[in-house]
Each structure stands twice: as structure tokens, then as C-alpha cells.
Amino acid sequence: MAAHADLWGDIAPSAVRTPASILREQGSLLGAKTNHLIEGQVETQISGRTFYHSFNLVVPALENYSYELFKIYHGVNIYPVQVGPPIDGLANEEAFVTWLGQKLSSPETKRIIGNLLAQANS
Amino acid sequence: MPITKFLFWNINRKPVADVVAELAAAQKAEVVILAESVISPRRLLATLNGVAGQGYHLSTGISKGITILTRFSREFLRPVFESDHVSIGRLMLPARSEILLAAVHLPSKLYWSNESQSFECVELARRIAEEEDRAKHQRTVLVGDMNMNPFEPGLVSSVGLNAVTARRIAERVTRTVQGRPYRLFYNPMWGHLGDVRGDTAGSYFYDSAEHLNYFWNVFDQVLLRPELAKRFDSDQLSIVKSVGERSLVRGDGRPDATLYSDHLPIVFELDF
């Protein structure tokens, strides 16, 4: 009997940067920018074929008080990534990074972070 | 045991600070929870505390969608998890058992499918269980605008909020599905579906020319873990239709969305 042939070919991780890894990078940058008074943490849940990632602002000085800034989700194909209404899907990494930049630097996000810093410092 | 009175109202972005103040005073509410409030905190406090005998404090929570005011010092309600539509806090009143207060305004059917709403309940249930584990108790009250009726899967399913119709069932504390235990809530709002109490047959009315239409909905709900449900007095839970001389409903019993909100407030008491 012939030896079993390896039909898999080469296997390697996809070169695409996942939304979760992009969020984690931004989370660690936030820690550095706030003297680690606020940490950006990513929480991932998998339900069925969907990956949900919550981006949380965690304040260690307030007994790990946590504020969920937003949630995104995607399927096995990673992109498009869903960020919730009114935006449909973001088709690729570039679109996701653009959206994320607007979200993280928005006046609403600044208000929340400002409030958390005030409480963490009080 | 001492009793604490709670008031919840989705005020639909209306400038109704004076009505909230009258309502809070008339109901002697110690905890006032508002959804969809765009009234500035300063105006809200000034109006509520302008009514004689009031002394409300604004919670330290920063949720965009949920505003909480208490007639006791804000230090007794410590937020532990928030988002723009959820606020979970530990309520620690002197000489009382600690409870977890979860206030929510879940996504609307205008933007989310029924399935997505259900998945959000799964997420909320997981979050609540996590905070219960951290607090080392399960004395939790969940109140808010669920944007779902008590009979919808998100509210009823084991992986969702697992909220049952009768406290005798909730007394089991958990129910097991496929070998996995799921914590139960008791949902007393089942008793407020329909017109047994008059023309106002729910907390929210929606009419549309489509095949499936409930007309009256009970989106505004309070859910209790078994330990709190045991001492819960159903007679003290009501959907509020008037404040003094002011009627929050029209002649046909529907919420007066022009003058006030398209949702009616709910009030209830907790003994803990």
C-alpha cells in the first residue's frame, strides 16, 4: 500500500492583521499614555461562527471598574468586520483602522477617558 | 427589613426634568434611573432637588445611555461595569445586604434583528454572572428598557437572561440544560401584559401595518434573582400612568408621546 500522501501543502497563518490584534496594540498604547491609570483591554467571545471583541477601558485604581467602549464582530474570514449601526461592514484593515482612529479620538471617547482619569486621580 | 423604592423611566430624549422631579417626589423613589436622558446633570439635579424634601445625588457612573440618581450619598452605589447602554453597580447601603443593580437600555428593534437582540442578552447575562462572581453573591436586580417583551427568546432562554414567569420556578436558583447550570431571574412583568388593569396594556405602544404586531409591549422591565424575588411584593410594582394631576397617557390609554415619553415609567420596591 502506498504511503499516505500529505495533501495539506504548506500551512501558515494568514498575513492579515486581525482586528483583535489591532485593538490590543491600541489598548497597550492607552496604558502608556495614561501612566497605566487606564488600560485598554480586549475581551473575546466566540458564539457559533462569530467572533465578538469588546474593547474595555479598565481602571485598576477603581477596583478594575470596566467601561465597554465598543464591540466589534466578524466571521472566520475576519473581514468584513462589523462595528454596528449605522455603519455596515468594514471591508478591510484599512477601513477598520480609519474607523478605529475616528472612534478612539472622538469627543465622546475623550469625555469618558477624562471622567475616568478624574475619578482614578481623586 | 428596610425597603427601597426604585423608579425607571425611558424619557425618550424629552425635556421632562420637571415631570421626573414630580414623579420621584410623588413615588418617594430613593433610586431614579433614566434611559435616553439628554437633560444636563446640573439641570436634572437642580430640578429634582428643587422639589421640597428631595436630596438627590448623581451616581458616579458615566454611561451615556443610563442616568442614575439616588437619595443617598453616591458613595453607596459604586459602578463596576458600564457601557453606553449598561450600568452595573454595587449598592452598599449601611446595615443592609449588598445588592447588584444592573440598569440597561438594550438596542432597539429599529436597528437590530430579534436574533441580535437575543445575542446581546447572552452577553448581558454573562456580564452579570461575572460581576456576581466578583461580588460573591447573587442578589441582583436588573431593570431597564429591554426593547424586548418578557416572552422573547433573549429574556427567556437559558443562555439569555433566563427570566421565568413565576417565583416558585425561580426558587430553583438555576436550571440545567445539557448538564450546564444557568442562573435564573424572576420576571414579574409577565403580570403586566394585557389590559386586565385598564386601557393601558403595557409600557410601550407600537402599531404597524404588518402581519405580526403586538400593539402593546412590556419593554420596560424589572428582573430579580431568587434571593430578592423571595421578599418581592408584586403589588408594589406598577406601570405609572399619572403624576398628580398630570396624565402620562392619552384618552385611549396609550403613552402621551407628544407631551412626555413614548414609554411609561415603572416603579417597584425591594426589601434587602
What pLDDT, on a 0 to 100 scale, did the predictor assign at position B111? 87
Note the CATH number of domain B3-155+190-271.
3.60.10.10
Q: Is the pLDDT of residue A6 over 70?
A: yes
Give pLDDT tens digits for B215-265.
999 999 999 999 999 999 999 999 999 999 999 999 999 999 999 999 999
CB pair distance less than 8 Å for A68 and B119: no
Give pLDDT tens digits for A18-44.
999 999 999 999 999 999 999 999 999
Q: Chain B: which residues have CB within 8 Å of chain A?
A: 60, 62, 64, 78-83, 86, 111-112, 119, 122-123, 126
CB pair distance less than 8 Å for A68 and B126: no
What pLDDT, on a 0 to 100 scale, did the predictor assign at position B118? 93
Collect all residues of chain B within an 8 Å Cβ-Cβ radius of residue A63: 78, 80
Question: Closest partner residue to B80 among A65, A108, A112, by Cβ?
Answer: A65
Collect all residues of chain A within an 8 Å Cβ-Cβ radius of residue B78: 63
Collect all residues of chain A within an 8 Å Cβ-Cβ radius of residue B58: none
Helical (H) or strand (E) element with B242: strand B242-243
What is the value of ipTM here, to two decimals? 0.81
Give pLDDT tens digits for B109-155.
988 889 989 999 999 999 999 999 999 999 999 999 999 999 999 99
Q: Does A116 touch chain B (CB under 8 A)?
A: yes
Q: In Å, how far is A44's CA from the nearest CA of chain B?
A: 11
Q: Is the pLDDT of residue A1 over 80?
A: no
What pLDDT, on a 0 to 100 scale, did the predictor assign at position A110? 96
- Residue A80 CA, chain-centre distance (Å), reads 14
Give pLDDT tens digits for A39-63.
999 999 888 888 999 999 999 999 8
Query: What are the boundaries of each domain within chain B?
Result: 3-155+190-271
Rounded CA separation B222/B73 (Å): 23
CB pair distance less than 8 Å for A115 and B62: yes
Q: Dihedral sign, CA of B14, B113, B148, B225?
A: negative
- Beta strand pairing call for B140-145 and B86-91: unpaired
What is the value of pTM for the model shown? 0.91
- Residue A7 CA, chain-centre distance (Å), reads 35
Q: Is the pLDDT of residue A122 over 90?
A: no
B50 compared with B29, residue with greater pLDDT? B29
